[in-house]
């Protein structure tokens, strides 16, 4: 488990599992090969995480239009998402905990809009 936040600054804390951390730190991941091979998606993922680390609350993500932040419903109830790129349907799914102060990154998904590839 990786936790990223600057000390003595009230910013959101972003936690991510090992596969996502590997992708974030090195740009490569066995689990997320399709993201690591696509420069647009990889850059979108890294930018989304950096933007999450810079804001103080999850509500501020709504103000960043490129992310298209939304709280999800139905089978994804309890999760939120941000878009990795405007060209693709891939979204970063995450769980908000502790009043929106800590964000736990869950997965990168390309199916929650019904994409039936």
Domains plus CATH for the chain? Answer: 2-109 (3.30.2310.20)
Average pLDDT of the chain to the nearest whole number? 81
Q: Which residue has the tokens 């693709």?
A: 88
What is residue 6's predicted lDDT score, i.e. its pLDDT?
A: 47
Specify which residues 83 forms β-bridges with. Answer: 91
CA distance 59 to 52: 11
Strands 2-4 and 70-71: unpaired
How does pLDDT run across 49-91, given as a tens digit for each residue?
999 888 888 888 999 999 999 998 888 888 888 988 888 888 8
Share of the chain above pLDDT 90, in %: 30
What is residue 7's predicted lDDT score, i.e. its pLDDT?
A: 47
Residues 73, 81 contacting (CB under 8 angstroms): no
In terms of Cβ atoms closer than 10 Å to its own Cβ (0-12, 13-18, 19+), residue 18 is exposed
CA distance 41 to 32: 11
What is residue 113's predicted lDDT score, i.e. its pLDDT?
A: 57
What is residue 5's predicted lDDT score, i.e. its pLDDT?
A: 47
The token pair that represents 5 in the structure block: 């936040």
């Amino acid at each position: 488990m990786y936790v990223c936040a600057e000390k003595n600054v009230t910013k959101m804390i972003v936690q991510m599992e090992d596969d996502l951390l590997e992708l974030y730190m090195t740009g490569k991941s066995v689990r997320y090969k399709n993201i690591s091979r696509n420069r647009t998606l990889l850059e979108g993922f890294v930018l989304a995480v950096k933007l999450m680390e810079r804001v103080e609350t999850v509500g501020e993500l709504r103000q960043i239009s490129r992310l298209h932040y939304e709280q999800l419903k139905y089978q994804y109830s309890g999760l939120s998402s941000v878009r990795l790129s405007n060209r693709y349907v891939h979204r970063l799914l995450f769980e908000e905990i502790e009043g929106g102060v800590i964000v736990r990154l869950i997965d990168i998904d390309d199916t929650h809009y019904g994409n039936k590839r």
